[in-house]
Structure 1
Amino acid sequence: MNTVYSFTIYNSTAQLPTNWDDLAVSTIFLSKKYLEVLEKSSPDNMTCHFIGIYDGTALVGIALSQFLNLNLLQSFGERDTWVKTTIRNLIFGKFASHVLVIGNNMLTGQNSFAFSNSVNPAKALLTLRAATTQLKKNFKSTGVTIHITTYKDFNQEEIKGFDIPEFKKEYLFSTQPNMVFAINENWKSEQDYIDSLSKKYRDQYKRARKKAVEIEKKKLHLDDIIALEDTIYDLYLHVATNAPFNTFFLPKNHFRIFKEIFKDKFLFYGYFIDGKLIGFNTLIKNGKVMDTYFLGYDDSIQREKMLYLNMLYDMIAYSINKNFKEIIFARTALEIKSSVGAKPIKMYGLMTHSSRLVNIFLPRIFKYLEPETVWQQRNPFK
């Protein structure tokens, strides 16, 4: 029998079916708890919707969509040259300020959707596409025209699912790679990791640790995060505004809300000198995978104390000690992440523009939407 799937678009987690989490097993980032974090503390320029895919009355698929209004951003990133930034701002203002993402623009990896094992994957994707069309109509009825629709982030194997006629006209693009650190099953401690490094990178490790000898690292609890919220946000903003490109900024209460909802699955580490918070990083336990999340630091101290590199080593040490299989280091700072042992996984997405004319030029325009990063891959192991 040729069954047809249906979909329901939900505006809040309170509306989600009780068995939603039965499908959110591949990633914590589709779970009700995480969607609640987004609901309570997503960026000001972001609106989230949750999509259920049904076979009759049975829930067989779940998905996340994020609408981004880039006109509400003060800055897309300050680091690039004035000319490049001006051109990019012009392109966004005129052609690309309303973006509908099927997936999660705040994370790296396939956190877009999950289907049950019984589902026909191609049919489920077509239903997701129909839900996307409906979302665009819903926005249109409120006076908002979606300029760009994009499905992200998929590795080489995952993107093959979209190789069906209905997606043929979409622009296939590749973004910066996802930096993934595989933990050797023979490593039982940080020392095992250090011993596996070549002399050059063992020396790098020792140098970084020596530089940070006066820094005190503390695991922060909810009360600490609340007490230090202003400083935390300043440190986060410093890093975020100096990134080459941004499509959102977190609200000030984001880390507090995350800790309230996720408790011990959300780790927040503060770095202090003489009792003053000078940096922090965050981690999320996602099954056997450790996902690195947002961080912040005082740049002058970061350079002098090699703070960022020390944070990477700390994340590796913790993940080895707690028997995680891999660490998702995500995008940005590709070279330094490869210097500690992370490997690049190429990521793909699909994109289409509401204007047929603009669609023709998408490959050219994309260069300004996703600035290319030139970097050298390192291999620190013997």
Structure 2
Amino acid sequence: MSHLQAVTYHTVTAISSKQWIELECANNAYFSPKFLKAFEVSNPNINFKYIVVNQNSSAIALAIIQTIELSVDVILKNIKLANWLKKLAHSLFCNNSMKIMTNGNIFLSGEHGLYIKEEASKIKTLGTIAEAINNIAKHTKSLHAIVLKDFLKHSLKLTTHFENYGFTEMHVEPNLILELDTNWKTFDDYKKDLKSKYRVKVNKADSSSNSLTARLFTEEDFATYKEELQKLYENTIANANFNAQVLNLDTYIHLREIYHDDFIVKAYFLENKLVGFLSALANNNHLDAHFIGLNYNLNREHAIYPRILNDYVRIGLEKQVSHINFGRTASEIKTTIGAIPVDLTCYIKHKRPFMNRIIKFIIKRVKLKEFKQHHAFKTKKEATKAS
């Protein structure tokens, strides 16, 4: 009978090259040592750990652990709860911050925290990881909660086993995904498949942003505009529904050095003043929108954000990817360019059994904020009629 053993490392560089070769996960950027190191070295306020599961001395799985502190207000900002339940949550945590340990990448939405080799016994390996996570939590002082984040629907038949280790299922806001039709070779091809009113919106975003000068940033530009990029980014996350942590944009410098043209930062200038930017990573035939930044005072007049969304589509077409992951903020406007919501599920627990029962009680009463979903593309019947 094969023996599984979990080993916890406190830095990604402690994982040996032999283990990375055995894992065979580095072709996915989010599980590559260089990507993980870029986040680790640039964000010292976050405590990083890595669990490697070995089977008969060979690495078969990796779990990424990040521990941060969040205010109770930030956590409650994006969920619908009765006022008395919000007051209860504040009283339980004395209106202070909470220390939260996360399996996943706190800066990105999606399955970026857990990797298990295809040939491994999934349930046994997941159980070994869950036990290791619980053991880390046991030895982490002042820890309030553990979150295993962002699992897609097809993963739930496996991840539901986390409930055997004290975790409670929690639905979170969906990712917004745009599938790119293989017939789209240009942005005009994409627009032709939009319904008339959405094509008008896309065209208006481009025409209203004509005053902007856009260019792709180089490594030298990162150094020149670092402080302005950071300010625009922090301005944007301050307006977001939920913000787990502020990313140090030094991370971008490292990612650019690693991924070159596959890590994209496009900047927007108005009369030589930086007023917005987008960032994205092309990874395994898909494009992931990372953080953006913009000047909200100028956004309405110059359509900075709608232009950013248009340009994500353009970049995806240029990179010839199969889909674009827009993340999970500003859901409604993203559906107007054709993105559709894809459900995500997290698992949560408190290290104390009594508190865990209260958390379960609260989670069952949580309602996600609703948004209007637009259906931007023509139906087959409409497309046939138009042609």
TM-score (norm 1): 0.90
Deviates more, 1:255-264 or 1:211-220: 255-264
Partner Cα distance (1:378, 1:39) in 2 = 38
Task: Determine whether 1:14 maps to 2:18.
Answer: no
Q: Which residue is 2:382 aligned to?
A: none
Q: Is the 8 A contact 1:29 1:35 kept in 2?
A: yes
Q: Is the 8 A contact 1:283 1:290 kept in 2?
A: yes
Instruction: Report deviation, 1:96.
Output: 7.0
Partner Cα distance (1:271, 1:77) in 2 = 33
Q: Is the 8 A contact 1:77 1:242 kept in 2?
A: no
The SS at the match of 1:330 is coil
Q: Which residue is 2:4 aligned to?
A: 5
Q: Which residue is 1:106 aligned to?
A: 107
Deviates more, 1:89-98 or 1:3-12: 89-98
Query: Which of 351, 354, 357 matches 1:357?
Result: 354
Gaps of 5+ in 2: 379-387
Q: Is the 8 A contact 2:266 2:277 kept in 1?
A: yes
Q: Which residue is 1:42 aligned to?
A: 43
Query: Residues 253 and 78 of structure 1: is their aligned pair in 2 closer, same or farther, counting only changes over 3 Å?
Result: farther
Query: Residues 126 and 252 of structure 1: is their aligned pair in 2 closer, same or farther, counting only changes over 3 Å?
Result: same
Partner Cα distance (2:321, 2:78) in 1 = 35
Instruction: Report deviation, 1:30.
Output: 1.2
Partner Cα distance (1:130, 1:176) in 2 = 27
Query: Residues 275 and 166 of structure 1: is their aligned pair in 2 closer, same or farther, counting only changes over 3 Å?
Result: closer
In the TM superposition, structure 1's runs of 4+ consecutive aligned residues that sit over 3 Å from their partners are 73-81, 86-96, 163-166, 363-368
Task: Determine whether 1:379 maps to 2:370.
Answer: no
Aligned residue type for 2:31: L
Which residues in structure 2 correspond to 1:19-98 (within 5 Å)?
19=18, 20=20, 22-24=23-25, 27-42=28-43, 44=45, 46-70=46-70, 87=87, 93=94, 97-98=98-99
Deviates more, 1:267-276 or 1:165-174: 165-174
The SS at the match of 2:139 is helix
Aligned residue type for 1:116: K
Aligned residues: 373
The SS at the match of 1:331 is coil
CA distances 1:71-120 after superposition (whole Å, capped 9, x unpaired): 6x996698999x97x85665555687121111122111111111112200
**What RMSD over aligned residues (CA atoms) do the two structures have, in Å?**
2.7
CA distances 1:160-186 after superposition (whole Å, capped 9, x unpaired): 102338627421110000111111111
Q: Is the 8 A contact 1:42 1:250 kept in 2?
A: yes
Task: Determine whether 1:329 maps to 2:330.
Answer: no
Aligned residue type for 1:188: K
Aligned residue type for 1:67: T
Calculate percent identity across the aligned residue pairs.
23
Query: Residues 217 and 74 of structure 1: is their aligned pair in 2 closer, same or farther, counting only changes over 3 Å?
Result: farther
Partner Cα distance (2:77, 2:144) in 1 = 24
Instruction: Report deviation, 1:7.
Output: 1.2
Instruction: Report deviation, 1:376.
Output: 0.3
CA distances 1:143-167 after superposition (whole Å, capped 9, x unpaired): x132211211111110210233862
Q: Is the 8 A contact 1:292 1:327 kept in 2?
A: yes
Task: Determine whether 1:258 maps to 2:251.
Answer: no
Aligned residue type for 2:225: L
Q: Is the 8 A contact 2:38 2:254 kept in 1?
A: yes
Partner Cα distance (2:364, 2:274) in 1 = 37
Q: Is the 8 A contact 1:23 1:62 kept in 2?
A: no
Q: Which residue is 2:155 aligned to?
A: 158
Query: Which of 198, 207, 225 matches 1:201?
Result: 198
Partner Cα distance (1:218, 1:329) in 2 = 20
Q: Is the 8 A contact 2:127 2:162 kept in 1?
A: no
Q: Which residue is 1:245 aligned to?
A: 242
Q: Which residue is 2:384 aligned to?
A: none
Instruction: Report deviation, 1:25.
Output: 5.1
Q: Which residue is 1:137 aligned to?
A: 138
The SS at the match of 1:228 is helix
Instruction: Report deviation, 1:381.
Output: 0.8
Query: Residues 91 and 261 of structure 1: is their aligned pair in 2 closer, same or farther, counting only changes over 3 Å?
Result: farther
Q: Is the 8 A contact 2:282 2:319 kept in 1?
A: no
